[in-house]
Amino acid sequence: MSSKHQLVTFVSLLETNKPYLVNCVRIPALQSLLLFSRSLDTNGDCSRLVADGWLELQLADTESAVRLLAASLRLRAHWESALDRQLAHQARRRLEDEEEEEEEEAPVNHKEVAALSRELLQFMTSKVSYSLRRLTGLEAQNLYVGPQTITAAPSLPGLFGNSTPSPHPTKGGYAVTDFLTYNCLTGLRKLPPSPPRRHLLCRSLTTARPARRTFCSRPRKSCGTGGSTCEPSPSRTRAKARTAALAPSLGSEL
């Protein structure tokens, strides 16, 4: 885990025969995804986040995760409100006369913009350790818990604020805003590792064979050294000894 994961963003898009990204800069990954993702999905303690259904973030500290998520909700709401007021004001200016426009006050004052800028800068410079990875296709297919029968709203202080979460009809969990769904992610399932196959390596053999099929009376480290080969199994040695002992007696009888 690290706090130095970054994403590349751009200021403008230049469209010629090919599109070009202009003024590209690097920005912190976690804070940028919390502010600009179209959808954010969390687990029960908000230590695991999935942005836009394919980028997974895991945070080591649960309290820091809840604090950053609550701050991002507040900043996004404030930013969206200021932007909507400014766009509505620009739309009215096209319909009204210039005299009426001069008398009308600006919808967003400079102090509000300055305060929002300071809060955004403080949010972007926060340091939290987390991991970032892309989900596989199988993980993306089994990402959500699905609709739940329990409709009681959860209680998580500092996250929901004044909003009332409602059960999500498809993902499960609870829809807090139009982009945030709380406690809709399934738990991580890790398959147990397969037991290692034990092989008895012998340098005189071209391939490694299972230990039950290879009989070697020498230690593993000294087997095959000095140009020697592996000795036969004890059962084969005893069979050859019995055959050699019976050979003279059979010859005398004949």
Question: What per-residue confidence (pLDDT) applies to 254?
Answer: 46
pLDDT of residue 41 exceeding 60, the answer is yes
For residue 31, the surrounding DSSP H or E stretch is: helix 29-36
Question: What per-residue confidence (pLDDT) applies to 233?
Answer: 56
pLDDT tens string 127-175: 999 999 999 989 999 999 988 776 666 666 567 666 778 888 899 888 8
- For residue 235, the one-letter residue type is S
Place 20 in a pLDDT band, splitting at 50, 70 and 90.
Answer: very high
Question: What per-residue confidence (pLDDT) applies to 107?
Answer: 74
Question: What per-residue confidence (pLDDT) applies to 206?
Answer: 44
Question: What per-residue confidence (pLDDT) applies to 109?
Answer: 83
pLDDT tens string 62-87: 888 999 999 999 999 999 999 998 88
Domain boundaries, the chain: 6-182, 200-253
As a dihedral over the C-alpha atoms of residue 204, residue 208, residue 212, residue 217, rounded to 10 degrees, the angle is 20
Q: CA-CA distances (angstroms) from residue 196 to 178, 191, 193, 200?
A: 48, 15, 9, 13
As a dihedral over the C-alpha atoms of residue 190, residue 191, residue 195, residue 196, rounded to 10 degrees, the angle is -70
How much is the average pLDDT of 5-10? 91
Determine the Cα–Cα distance for residues 233 and 128; give it in Å rounded to an integer.
Answer: 62
pLDDT tens string 47-63: 999 999 999 999 988 88
pLDDT tens string 173-228: 888 889 999 989 987 654 444 455 444 344 444 444 555 555 555 555 545 445 44
For residues 123 and 75, the answer to whether their CB atoms sit within 8 Å is yes
